Structure 1
Amino acid sequence: MRLRFSRGVFTIAVIVLVLAVGISVGLYALLKKAKPLAVPDASCLVRTPQGSLGLDIEQAQVSATIAAVAARRRLPERAVVIAYATALQESKLRNLDHGDRDSVGVFQQRESQGWGTQKQIMDPVYSTNKFFAALVKVKNYRTIPLAEAAQEVQRSAGGYAYAPHESDAKILAAAFTGRVPRSVHCWYPPAKGQTATPVARTGEARRQLARALGDTTITSKRRGWLIAAWSVAHAREYGLSRVGFSGATWSNDLEADDWRSGGKAGDRRVELS
C-alpha cells in the first residue's frame, strides 16, 4: 500500500527541519564563543628555535633566578645550561623542602656537606650562587661533557642522570638569558582584591630582581630581555599584568600566547605595570 502525504504535512516537515538546522548552527556558534567554565591553571611556555617547553610558575621563577645569578657573576651560557640540567634532575626546577637525607632546595644541597644552613639553601639566589661558585672551580667545565661537569659539583650517586636534560636545559638557557627575545610567556588567574598599589608591587619586583642580578641597569638588549623574562616569570608573585621592552609587550591575557608588538621601542628600561 502506498502512503500519501498532503502538501501541508510536507510543508510542516520542511519547517521543522529548517528550524532544527538553525538551532543547531546557533548553539554551535554560542558554544564556540563561550569561554570555558573551568579556569586553567597558571602556566608558562618557553618557545625558542631549539624547541618549546611548558613550565609551571615555580619552575619559571627558578629558571629566571638561575639566569639572573649567572649574569651577575658574568658566566657564559654553558654554565647556565649545566645549572639547568642539574636542577632538572635534582628537583625538576622546584625549591623542595625535602630530599635524600638532609638534601633540600633547587640543587638538593646538604647542610651536612657544607653547602650552608637549611634556611640558606632554601633561598634559590643563595643556592644558585653556591652552585656556580663550585662549578667555576671545575677544570674546563665549559668544554667537558655536561654530566661530568655537573657531577664534579654535585658528587651524586648517579652522575650519568644529568646528561638527558641537556636539550631542555639549552632551550631554557636561550630564553631566560635573554639571547632569544620574546621567548617566555606566562599566564595566571588575576588575583581578587589586590591591596598593594602598582608602584609598591613594581618596586618590590625590582628589589627582588636586584638580589639575583645585582645592578639592574640595561646595558644590552640581551640583558633587557633577561630582565623582561624574569619579570614575566615573577608576574603572579608581584601582581604584574604587563611587561614591556624593546617595542614588545607581554600581557596577562589567557587568549594571548605570545608577546605582542607595541609599546615603547626604547631599550633602556623594562616597563612594569
Structure 2
Amino acid sequence: MVVLVVAITAGLFTLLKRAKPFVDLGEGCRITTPEGSLDLDIAQAQVAASIAAVAARRKLPERAAVIAYATAIQESKLENLRGGDRDSVGVFQQRPSQGWGKPSQLIDPVYASEKFFAALVKVKGYRKLPLHEAAQAVQRSADGSAYAQHEEDGKILAAAFTGRVPRAVHCWFPVPSGPSGKSPSPDTGAAKRELTRALGAAFEAPSRRRGWLVAGWSIAHAKEFGLTRIRYDGQSWVSANGHDGWRADPKVPAGKVEISQSTTPS
C-alpha cells in the first residue's frame, strides 16, 4: 500500500511538473497554433504580447521573436521578475550592472524587449544560427545550451502573438461588476496608449497579420483594461464566455480591430 501511494504521488508530481505553465482554472490564456498549444497565465500572456509588439515595431522577422520567447521562458518563465541572480531583473533577467538599464526600466517588458532585440540584431547571422547560440550571444549566461529546450514553445508563441496564425490567442477571467451589476466601462484610451507605446501604432490594422497581432495583444490585456468584446476579421471574442475563444461574427467590419463594452455573446 505504501509503495502504491508513493507511486501515485510521484506520478501526480511528474504530471504537475510537466504542466507548463500552470494556469489558474478561474483565469488564464490558451495559445493554439498548428505548431502546438500552450497554456499561460494572464501576466505571462501580457509579456508575450509585448514582446511580439516590439518585434513588429522594429520590423523584425518571426525568428527574432522565437529567440526572444525561448530566452524569456528560460530566464523567467515569461514572468516579469523583480529580482533574480545577483542584480538580474525582468523577463529577460537583464543586469543593470552590465549596462542593460536601470532596474525601474528593466521591469517594463516593453523596454526590456527593446533592449533584447537591439542586442540581438547586432549578432551576425542570428537568423540562421542555432537558437541557443543566438540567445547566448545576447545573454552571455552561465549555460547557453539551456535556451535550446524552449525553441518549440517559442515557435508556438511567435506564430500566435505575431498574428501569423489567426484566432490563436484567447483568455478567460471572471468579469467584474459594479454597484449596478454591470461591467465597468473599458479603459480603451489607456489600452490604446499602452499598445501604441509597444507597437508604435494603436488599433490600426494595415494588414491581416498586424490586425491579429493587435487582437491578440488586446485579449491578453483585456482584464487589465476592462475590455469585454474584441472583434476582428469576421470573428469576435467576448469576456463573458472567454473560455469559448473566438466565434464567427458576420457583423464585424473589415480591416479594423474593434473593442467595446458589450458582453452579450455573438
> Which of the five TM-score ranges fits, normalised by the shorter chain?
0.7 to 0.9
Q: 1:255: Cα distance to partner?
A: 6.9
What is the CA–CA distance in structure 2 between the aligned matches of 1:82 and 1:230, rounded to whole Å?
A: 19
Matches within 5 A, 1:25-104: 40-104=25-89
Q: TM-score, normalised by structure 2?
A: 0.84
Q: 1:191: Cα distance to partner?
A: 1.9
SS at match of 1:109: coil
Q: Which residue of 2 aligns with 1:10?
A: none
Q: Which residue of 2 aligns with 1:267?
A: 254
Q: Which residue of 2 aligns with 1:134?
A: 119
204, 209, 222: which one aligns with 1:222: 209
What is the CA–CA distance in structure 2 between the aligned matches of 1:48 and 1:55, rounded to whole Å?
A: 14
134, 147, 156: which one aligns with 1:149: 134
What is the CA–CA distance in structure 1 between the aligned matches of 2:76 and 2:220, rounded to whole Å?
A: 18
What is the CA–CA distance in structure 2 between the aligned matches of 1:205 and 1:196, rounded to whole Å?
A: 17
Q: Which residue of 1 aligns with 2:219?
A: 232
Q: Aligned pair in 2 of structure 1 residues 139, 219: CA closer, same or farther (>3 Å)?
A: same
Matches within 5 A, 1:249-260: 249-254=236-241, 256-260=243-247
1:234-257 per-residue CA deviation (whole Å, 9 max, x = no partner) reads 000001111000110011134743
- Asked whether the 8 Å contact 1:245–1:264 carries over to 2, the reply is no
What is the CA–CA distance in structure 1 between the aligned matches of 2:154 and 2:166, rounded to whole Å?
A: 17
What is the CA–CA distance in structure 2 between the aligned matches of 1:55 and 1:255, rounded to whole Å?
A: 14
What is the CA–CA distance in structure 1 between the aligned matches of 2:105 and 2:26, rounded to whole Å?
A: 30
Q: Which residue of 2 aligns with 1:182?
A: 167
What is the CA–CA distance in structure 2 between the aligned matches of 1:193 and 1:119, rounded to whole Å?
A: 33
Q: 1:41: Cα distance to partner?
A: 2.3
Q: 1:92: Cα distance to partner?
A: 0.3
Q: Which residue of 2 aligns with 1:198?
A: 185
Quick check: 1:242 aligned with 2:232?
Answer: no
Aligned Cα root-mean-square deviation (Å): 1.7
Amino acid aligned to 2:188:
T
What is the CA–CA distance in structure 2 between the aligned matches of 1:265 and 1:254, rounded to whole Å?
A: 18
- Asked whether the 8 Å contact 2:132–2:145 carries over to 1, the reply is yes
- Asked whether the 8 Å contact 1:245–1:263 carries over to 2, the reply is no
Amino acid aligned to 1:54:
D
What is the CA–CA distance in structure 1 between the aligned matches of 2:94 and 2:242, rounded to whole Å?
A: 39
Q: Aligned pair in 2 of structure 1 residues 163, 252: CA closer, same or farther (>3 Å)?
A: same
Q: Which residue of 2 aligns with 1:110?
A: 95
Q: 1:215: Cα distance to partner?
A: 1.9
Q: 1:81: Cα distance to partner?
A: 0.1
5+ long unaligned stretches in structure 2: 1-23, 261-266
What is the CA–CA distance in structure 1 between the aligned matches of 2:109 and 2:198, rounded to whole Å?
A: 9
What is the CA–CA distance in structure 2 between the aligned matches of 1:167 and 1:257, rounded to whole Å?
A: 25
SS at match of 2:244: coil
What is the CA–CA distance in structure 2 between the aligned matches of 1:196 and 1:260, rounded to whole Å?
A: 21
Aligned pairs, number: 234
183, 199, 219: which one aligns with 1:213: 199
What is the CA–CA distance in structure 1 between the aligned matches of 2:135 and 2:171, rounded to whole Å?
A: 29
5+ long unaligned stretches in structure 1: 1-38
Q: 1:77: Cα distance to partner?
A: 0.1
Q: TM-score, normalised by structure 1?
A: 0.82
User: Whose radius of gyration is greater, 1 or 2?
Assistant: 1
What is the CA–CA distance in structure 2 between the aligned matches of 1:60 and 1:255, rounded to whole Å?
A: 14
Amino acid aligned to 2:110:
V
